[in-house]
């Protein structure tokens, strides 16, 4: 084993020992460390100052009880979290996830990834993530409101417009952000941009709702353009049917591709005729208002069929995983490749298992890791913060232009650090480009 491989192995053993049982966190660190160790092999200052060792330790983890009362009058208890991972380049920034699968490992992987992602955007934002094991599914609006209010009673002491600015993620959309913001404002008696993803009436930004899905498609468009290709006429398989997935479909349609799948935790629909604007509006209403299951699409549109499982067996040119972590296994990746998939842009965070990533990398397809591909969401969150601080509101056209420019800049940073002899390694490029800014800021601070 060479020296770099040996350091990497020792480092990962240490991470596993210090964070027992945190499978998702180990996975995220391992993916990053495998590309950073070779990069810093000839840069002793990063070793001497223990930069990577310090980067894998969150600045702070807050865990708290969230009691709330359901509509029947029963007292219920959830666990709330905020993982403030790294504020070297700006205030903590990252979403809140409400899902029964939320635990410390999941939020630490998300906060760690967020630190690199936010660095890639070029904006001054540190990394954080939070949330709860609360399940909004099947709850009434009043129950969700009472939960959000109780969650904010504790969270408010740890956040602030220059300290930590949460936003949405799985299970936290416009409704939840409204309840959370209303409670913060009431407790603090201050109207500030402490959350992003706000409604337009109270300081939200144009394009923020669309930004993650649009950005993941812009990133794919940039990778294709780099090889002289485009999205025109491409068949695209998409997972999820929430915020990221639906706006990815919209942008695929704008750019001449054909989106043929959507999914949720009950299964996926396949519509070979394509999910056009009318069908998409129906899905958005189903998910945001009626809060139904994706299978209902196949009852409404006879061109579609519903299936259990994930959509990766449907032949496609491009795959956009936009649901959740580890939704593409090694076997799924091999199926995609066998069916001719030439590009993957990760709308979700860490949707591909490590062995699946290896399969994509080995095949040298256009593979965009989540921290680069889905950075458009937090980038527009950063622009929402700027607008709030300046008390102004930019136009949709200006913000879409800034989003496009940001995704192109991130693409070009990945190329700058990931160019290999005959292809671009976007994974290494994203990790190294994200690492440098945070690491160099940490060097400036000494051992803080
Ligand atoms: P939403 O809550 O709007 O939608 C989530 C979608 O994924 C739903 O269709 C949901 O199905 C599905 N899903 C969630 N968990 C699972 C699971 N365990 N198995 C199968 N399907 C699942 O979330 P978002 O669209 O906001 O987030 C999707 C992904 O994108 C996440 O990985 C998130 O971290 C990432 N992301 C989000 C950003 C944002 O701005 N919102 C920014 C960057 C990344 P069901 O309803 O059945 O649970
Ligand atoms: O994973 C993510 O980047 C998000 N959920 C968005 C974070 C944000 O602060 O907008």
Q: Which residue reads 């070779």 in tokens? A: 38
Segment 404-429 mean pLDDT: 98
pLDDT band at 448 (very low <50, low <70, confident <90, very high): confident
Q: Which residue, among 166, 124, 170, has the nearest Cα to 351 in the 3D structure?
A: 170
pTM of the predicted model, to two decimals? 0.98
First to last CA, the chain: 33
Which residue's CA lies nearest to atom 43 of ligand 1? Answer: 374
| Percent of the chain clearing pLDDT 70 (strictly above) | 100
Ligand 1 lined by 348 (C-beta under 6 Å): yes
Tell me the sheet residues that pair with 262.
Answer: 269
pLDDT digits (tens, 9 = 90+) for 238-277: 999 999 999 999 999 999 999 999 999 999 999 999 999 9
d(CA 132, CA 331): 31
CB atoms within 10 A of CB 362: 10
| Marked catalytic residue, from 129, 198, 258, 287 | 129
377 lines ligand 2 (CB under 6 A): yes
Ligand nearest to the CA of 380: 2
Q: Is 129 noted as a catalytic residue in this protein?
A: yes
Of the candidate CATH numbers 3.40.605.10, 3.40.50.10860, 1.10.760.10, 3.30.930.10, the domain formed by 60-192 belongs to: 3.40.50.10860
Structure tokens at 201: 């009436």
Q: What is the DSSP letter of 87?
A: -
Mean of the pLDDT values across residues 364-375? Answer: 98
Common-topology check for domains 60-192 and 209-373: yes
Query: Is residue 427 within 6 Å of ligand 2 at its C-beta?
Result: no
> CA geometry: angle at 375 spanning 374 and 379, to 5°?
140
pLDDT digit string, tens, across residues 101-155? 999 999 999 999 999 999 999 999 999 999 999 999 999 999 999 999 999 999 9
How far, in Å, from the CA of 6 to the mean position of ligand 1?
37
| Any atom of ligand 2 within 6 Å of the Cβ of 95 | yes
How far apart are the CA of 9 and the centre of ligand 1, in A?
A: 32
The residue whose CA is least distant from atom 3 of ligand 1 is: 242
Domain boundaries, the chain: 3-55, 60-192, 209-373
CA separation for the pair 22, 27 (Å, rounded): 9
C-alpha–C-alpha distance, residues 348 and 370, integer Å: 6
pLDDT tier at 1, thresholds 50, 70, 90: confident
- 209-373: what fold? Rossmann fold (3.40.50)
């Amino acid at each position: 084993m060479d020296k770099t491989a040996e350091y990497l192995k020792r480092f990962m053993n240490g991470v596993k020992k210090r964070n027992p049982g945190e499978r998702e966190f180990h996975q995220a660190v391992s993916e990053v460390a495998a590309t950073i160790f070779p990069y810093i092999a000839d840069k002793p200052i990063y070793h001497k100052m223990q930069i990577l060792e310090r980067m894998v330790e969150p600045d702070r983890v807050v865990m708290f009880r969230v009691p709330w009362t359901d509509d029947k009058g029963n007292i219920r208890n959830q666990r709330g979290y905020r993982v403030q991972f790294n504020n070297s380049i700006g205030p903590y920034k990252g979403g809140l996830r409400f899902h029964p699968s939320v635990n410390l490992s999941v939020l630490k992987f998300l906060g760690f990834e967020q630190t690199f992602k936010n660095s890639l955007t070029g904006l001054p934002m540190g990394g954080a993530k939070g949330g709860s094991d609360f399940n909004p599914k099947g709850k009434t609006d009043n129950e969700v409101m009472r939960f959000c209010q109780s969650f904010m009673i504790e969270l408010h002491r740890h956040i602030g417009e220059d300290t930590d600015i949460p936003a949405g993620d799985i299970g936290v959309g416009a409704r939840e952000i409204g309840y959370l913001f209303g409670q913060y404002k009431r407790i603090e008696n201050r109207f500030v941009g402490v959350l992003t993803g706000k409604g337009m009436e109270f300081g939200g930004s144009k394009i923020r709702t669309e930004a993650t899905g649009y950005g993941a498609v812009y990133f794919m468009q940039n990778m294709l353009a780099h090889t002289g290709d485009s999205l025109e006429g491409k068949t695209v398989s998409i997972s999820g049917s929430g915020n990221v997935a639906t706006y990815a479909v919209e942008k695929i349609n704008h750019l001449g591709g054909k989106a043929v799948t959507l999914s949720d935790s009950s299964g996926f629909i396949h519509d070979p005729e394509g999910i056009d604007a009318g069908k998409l509006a129906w899905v958005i209403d189903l998910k945001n208002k009626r809060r139904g299951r994706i299978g209902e699409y196949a009852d409404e549109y006879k061109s579609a069929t519903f299936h259990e499982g994930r959509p990766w067996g449907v032949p496609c040119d491009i795959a956009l995983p936009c649901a959740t972590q580890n939704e593409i296994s090694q076997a799924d990746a091999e199926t995609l490749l066998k069916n001719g998939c030439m590009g993957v842009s990760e709308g979700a965070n860490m949707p591909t298992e490590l062995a699946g990533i290896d399969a994509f990398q080995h095949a040298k397809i256009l593979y965009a890791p989540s921290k680069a591909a889905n950075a458009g969401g937090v980038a527009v969150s950063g622009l929402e913060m700027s607008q709030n601080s300046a008390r102004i509101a930019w136009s949709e056209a200006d913000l879409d232009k800034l989003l496009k420019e940001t995704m192109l800049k991130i693409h070009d940073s990945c190329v700058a650090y990931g160019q290999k002899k005959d292809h671009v390694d976007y994974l290494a490029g994203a990790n190294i480009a994200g690492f440098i800014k945070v690491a160099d800021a940490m060097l400036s601070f000494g051992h803080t």
